[in-house]
């Protein structure tokens, strides 16, 4: 059961304490308080855990401080919408708002290599008004003989360069609890010049210890990538590990699924799942067209296939786009063949803008009447 408190109930308020005391008065019931910070309002929710089956809702509905009581019947207790009874409230991080209604593009390098390449990338982002990027430093590679990423040693200069170019959030993959600690330490020693969204890659989707570790820290939001070879439901369950540990700032990312039926693309594009994830969960949904398509080809109409795949996610309501760029894809140490070049950034932004307008017009035209 989830008790949603009225907007702006403070965590230390007597009203909250009263409701918790009432809940914990039922045998075998314990509570957890989750607070979701929004830009205009904050929502406090009390999760009732344990033997909640026989707990009635009425005693809680009587409190004037309670907005609603939701009986959770589904398994996605933390991330779920629970038959639309709960709102997708979103979250703020480092001055940027993430929700199912916002849209942010994260162009950047698959893997950090030379400082000059990263500087050129961040400079292009700045010139085009982009404050969000991606940069991999811990790379889980298929072969142990391939470039594994520069690791913790590059973090200070990566963060400093980001700060110099006004980058507020970098999506950065972590493969181990230790990586999270290294990122937090480097942000601290460099004076927090930027922010990091911890990326859980598709190869670690069911690394439950890593998911728990990402959920146990409160500082950094988490970008969870769906498993490439498991069902959507299994991925949502895995994602629930992060949120159930206490970190509600999670974005769910679609990145294609592995099947030879996706040939000649690297993965089969699964962006039709954007509205499905939005309906089932409260999470903003990201798409990664680069790792889905996996190559840089142009269609006969002149648009790169990566653009077309991006459009497929934007027109169905994606909130975030992770997209690979490199100043010189031919020399990139990881995934160069799928990277866009920096001169293509303004075109991609214009293209995304058109697709977003189409999506919003469709929601206005059909959203209210269709169900």
Binding site for ligand PEP (CB under 6 A): 110, 136, 173, 201-203, 225, 255, 288, 291
Q: Which does 225 bind (CB under 5 to 8 A by kind): ligand PEP, Mn ion, none?
A: ligand PEP
Residue with the shortest CB distance to ligand PEP:
201
- In whole angstroms, how close is the CB of 338 to Mn ion at the nearest point? 7
* Contacts for 183-186: CB closer than 8 Å, 24+ residues apart: 183/155, 183/220, 184/217, 184/219, 184/220, 186/152, 186/155, 186/156, 186/159
**How are beta strands 96-98 and 91-93 bridged, if at all?**
antiparallel
The nearer residue to ligand PEP, 22 or 134, going by C-beta atoms, is: 134
Nearer CB in complex with ligand PEP: 3/318:
318
Shortest spacing between CB 288 and ligand PEP, in angstroms:
6
Q: Which of the ranges 78-86, 108-116, 221-229, 276-284 carries the binding residues for Mn ion, by CB under 5 A?
A: 108-116
Count how many Cα atoms sit within 13 Å of the Cα of residue 302 in the half-sphere of its side chain: 4
**Measured between alpha carbons, how far is residue 370 from residues 99, 313, 363 in Å?**
23, 20, 10
Q: In terms of CB distance, is 46 or 135 closer to Mn ion? A: 135
Smallest gap from residue 23 Cβ to Mn ion (A): 45
Q: Return the number of the residue (225 or 273) whose C-beta is nearest ligand PEP.
A: 225
Stretch that binds Mn ion, among 2-10, 107-115, 157-165, 223-231 (CB under 5 A): 107-115
Residues binding Mn ion: what is the number (CB under 5 A)?
2
Query: Which member of 45, 173, 305, 335 binds Mn ion (CB under 5 A)?
Result: 335
Which contacts (CB < 8 Å, 24+ apart) does range 186-194 have? 186/152, 186/155, 186/156, 186/159, 187/159, 189/156, 190/155, 190/156, 190/159, 190/160, 190/163, 193/159, 193/160, 193/162, 193/163, 193/164, 194/94, 194/159, 194/162, 194/163, 194/167, 194/168, 194/169, 194/170
Q: Which residues contact 214 (CB under 8 A, 6 or more apart)?
A: 174, 180, 198, 200, 222, 242, 245, 247
Map the footprint of Mn ion across residues 7-36, applying CB under 5 A.
none
Q: Which stretch binds Mn ion (CB under 5 A): 24-32, 109-117, 181-189, 238-246?
A: 109-117
* Residue 157 CB-density burial (10 A; 0-12 exposed, 13-18 middle, 19+ buried): middle
CB of 102 to Mn ion, least distance (A): 25
Nearer to Mn ion, 240 or 305 (CB): 305
Which residue lies nearer to Mn ion by CB, 110 or 243? Answer: 110
* Residue 255 interface partner, choices ligand PEP, Mn ion, none, CB cut-off 5-8 Å depending on type: ligand PEP
Pairing assessment for the beta strands 285-287 and 250-254 based on DSSP bridges? parallel
Name which of Mn ion, ligand PEP, none residue 249 binds, using a CB cut-off of 5 to 8 Å depending on partner kind: none
Contact between 305 and Mn ion per CB under 5 A: no
| 110 touches Mn ion by CB under 5 A | yes
The Cα–Cα gap between 68 and 266 comes to 45
Cβ proximity of 273 and 307 under 8 Å: no
Of 18 and 331, nearer to ligand PEP (C-beta) is: 331
CA distance 27 to 322: 47
**At closest approach, how far in Å is the CB of 227 from ligand PEP?**
9
Q: Which is nearer to ligand PEP, 134 or 278 (CB)?
A: 134
User: Residue 92 forms beta bridges with which residues?
Assistant: 97
248 makes contact, choosing from ligand PEP, Mn ion, none, with CB < 5 to 8 Å by partner type, with: none
Enumerate binding residues for Mn ion (CB under 5 A).
110, 335
């Amino acid at each position: 059961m989830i008790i949603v408190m009225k907007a702006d109930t403070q965590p230390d308020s007597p009203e909250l304490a009263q409701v918790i005391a009432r809940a914990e008065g039922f045998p075998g019931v314990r509570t957890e308080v989750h607070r979701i910070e929004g830009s205009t309002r904050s929502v406090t929710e009390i999760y009732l855990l344990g033997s909640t089956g026989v707990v009635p809702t009425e005693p809680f509905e009587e409190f004037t401080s309670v907005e609603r009581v939701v009986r959770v019947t589904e398994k996605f207790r933390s991330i779920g919408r629970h038959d639309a009874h709960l709102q997708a409230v979103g979250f703020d991080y480092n001055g940027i708002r993430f929700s199912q209604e916002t849209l942010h593009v994260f162009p950047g390098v698959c893997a950090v290599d030379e400082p000059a390449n990263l500087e050129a990338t961040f400079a292009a982002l700045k010139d085009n008004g982009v404050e969000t990027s991606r940069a991999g430093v811990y790379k889980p590679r298929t072969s142990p003989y391939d470039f594994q990423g520069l690791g913790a040693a590059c973090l200070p200069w990566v963060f400093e360069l980001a700060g110099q170019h006004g980058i507020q959030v970098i999506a950065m993959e972590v493969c181990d609890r230790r990586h999270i600690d290294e990122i937090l330490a480097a942000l601290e020693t460099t004076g927090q010049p930027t922010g990091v969204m911890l990326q859980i890659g598709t190869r670690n989707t069911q690394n439950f210890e890593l998911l728990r570790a990402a959920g146990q820290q409160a500082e950094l939001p988490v970008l969870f990538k769906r498993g490439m070879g498991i069902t959507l439901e299994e991925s949502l369950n895995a994602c629930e590990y992060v949120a159930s540990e206490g970190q509600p700032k999670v974005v769910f990312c679609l990145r294609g699924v592995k099947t030879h039926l996706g040939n000649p693309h690297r993965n089969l594009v699964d962006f039709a799942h954007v509205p499905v994830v939005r309906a089932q969960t409260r999470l903003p949904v990201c798409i990664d067209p680069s790792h889905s398509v996996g190559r840089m080809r142009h269609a006969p109409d002149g648009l790169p296939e990566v653009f077309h795949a991006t459009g497929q996610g934007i027109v169905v309501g994606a909130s975030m786009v992770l997209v690979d760029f490199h100043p010189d894809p031919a020399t990139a140490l990881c995934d160069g063949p799928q990277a866009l070049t920096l001169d293509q950034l303004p075109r991609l932004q214009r293209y995304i803008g058109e697709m977003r307008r189409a999506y919003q017009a469709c929601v206005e035209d059909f959203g209210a009447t269709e169900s």
